Amino acid sequence: MKRKLTMIQAITEAMDQKLADDSRIMLLGEDIGVNGGVFRATEELVHKYGPDRIVDTPLAEAGIIGAAIGLAMNGKIPVVEIQFLAFIYPGFEQIVSHAARMRYRTRGQYHVPMVIRTPYGAGIRGPELHSESVETFFAHVPGLKVVAPSTPYDAKGLLIAAMEDPDPVIFLEPTKLYRAFKQEVPEEMYRVPIGKAKVVQEGSDVSIFAWGAMLRVAEDAAKQIERENGLSCEVIDLRTLYPLDRDTIIASVKKTGRAVVVHEAHKTAGLGAEIISIINDEALIYMKAPVKRITGFDVPVPQFSIEDDYLPTAERVKDGIMETATF
């Protein structure tokens, strides 16, 4: 049967099906029970699985994430919801010092199969600290996997894969896309593999790399530029930010010789720099132009009166494409 779901519905369904499928799965977070989470990702689940598996925790991110680490080490698979990415910071210590290192420190004796889900990104007119895009913090820490879907289909498949992954996964959900559009999503459980990018649109002149909410901006720019200038863009959704899918990146730039990276995170030390480095290491001689980065700026994400000016736009991406194309 064909049904269309929003990303938030796809995420709920992924958790619902895994909860039914695996009794070790439990959800923890602030307001995820009767309230169904601030974005309603856990809507109704507490009525189905009870308060022992869908746990409304005290307001304490270090407590939630730290306890989840212990739960994971001792037979459970905790899926944690943090209300907004910026509110993960009180639990950051637990993520980097413990979740990420437990396997390493115990030489494989213990491991931490857990998922930390959190909305991220700007464009929703949120108050201060509700729009951050700091995926680099996590991609920088060995021991974590970092995932950022851009479609309902991928969100479900990647979240199921994340819940089955033996390592801690930071699962970044682009807030702006939660209810932005619907897509056909299979009813059964399926997996989208972690670590694999997706070629969303094939092309021959320029490769565009993006993830999360920026994928739509990249696709938009690619369509416009094709119409206006006849340039053929290959659009790639990275989907997993750690580990990066090097093969797909390299194969694409070998074909096109030009690349643009689009991310809403701050420019300096953003993942764009890493992607450029990979290209330099592996495909420099194929390149006809320096790789362009279209990113958020090195400023705190501004309040919503000028929030849209912070975010990369299709216009800015098109400028970047033209710069590499006419280098």
Ligand X SMILES: Cc1ncc(C[n+]2csc(CCOP(=O)(O)OP(=O)(O)O)c2C)c(N)n1
Residue closer to ligand X by CB (options 119, 296) is 119
Asked if 92 touches ligand X (CB under 6 A), the answer is no
- Active-site choice (98, 130, 263, 266): 130
Where do we find the tokens 């206006």?
A: 228
- How far apart CA 89 and CA 137 sit, in angstroms, is 10
Residue closer to other proteins by CB (options 198, 263) is 263
Residue closer to ligand X by CB (options 45, 85) is 85
Q: Name the minimum Å distance from CB 34 to ligand X.
A: 14
Measured from the Cβ of residue 125, the count of other Cβ atoms closer than 10 Å reads: 12
Residue 1 binds which entry of other proteins, ligand X, none, CB below 5-8 Å type-dependent = none
Asked if 83 touches ligand X (CB under 6 A), the answer is yes
Q: Name the minimum Å distance from CB 70 to ligand X.
A: 20
Give yes or no for a contact between 268 and 299, defined as CB atoms under 8 angstroms apart: no
Residue closer to ligand X by CB (options 54, 233) is 54
Asked if 30 touches ligand X (CB under 6 A), the answer is yes
Residue closer to other proteins by CB (options 97, 229) is 229
Residue from 40, 56, 90, 189 binding ligand X (CB under 6 A): 90
- How far apart CA 141 and CA 265 sit, in angstroms, is 17
Residue closer to other proteins by CB (options 201, 224) is 224
Q: Name the minimum Å distance from CB 92 to ligand X.
A: 11
Indicate if 111 belongs to the active site.
Answer: no
Asked if 87 touches ligand X (CB under 6 A), the answer is yes
Three-state secondary-structure class, residue 215: helix
Residue 36 binds which entry of ligand X, other proteins, none, CB below 5-8 Å type-dependent = other proteins
User: Pattern of binders to ligand X over 56-75, x per CB under 6 A?
Assistant: ---x-x--------------
125 conformational bin, left if phi > 0, alpha if psi -120 to 50, beta if neither: left
3-state helix, strand, coil in the chain (%, to 5): 40, 20, 40
Three-state secondary-structure class, residue 189: coil
Question: Could you tell me how many residues of this chain bind ligand X (CB under 6 A)?
Answer: 6
Cα-Cα-Cα-Cα dihedral of 224, 230, 264, 131, to 10°? 10
Q: Name the minimum Å distance from CB 85 to ligand X.
A: 11
Residues in the site for other proteins, rule: CB under 8 A?
Answer: 30-31, 33-36, 38, 56, 58-63, 86-87, 89-90, 125-130, 228-231, 267-268, 297-300, 302-307, 309-310, 315, 318-319, 322-323, 326
- β-pairing, 145-147 vs 183-184, is unpaired
Q: What is the DSSP letter of 297?
A: -
Q: Name the minimum Å distance from CB 218 to ligand X.
A: 31
Q: What are phi and psi of 320, to 5 degrees?
A: -65, -40
Q: What is the DSSP letter of 115?
A: E
Give yes or no for a contact between 91 and 120, defined as CB atoms under 8 angstroms apart: no
Asked if 34 touches ligand X (CB under 6 A), the answer is no
Q: Which of these ranges, 42-50, 82-90, 194-202, 305-313, lies near ligand X under the rule CB under 6 A?
A: 82-90
Which alpha helices (H) appear in the chain, and where do they start and end?
7-21, 45-49, 61-73, 92-93, 102-105, 135-139, 152-163, 214-229, 246-256, 271-283, 307-310, 314-325
Q: Name the minimum Å distance from CB 27 to ligand X.
A: 16
Residue numbers at the binding site for ligand X (CB under 6 A): 30, 59, 61, 83, 87, 90
Active-site residues, by number, are: 130
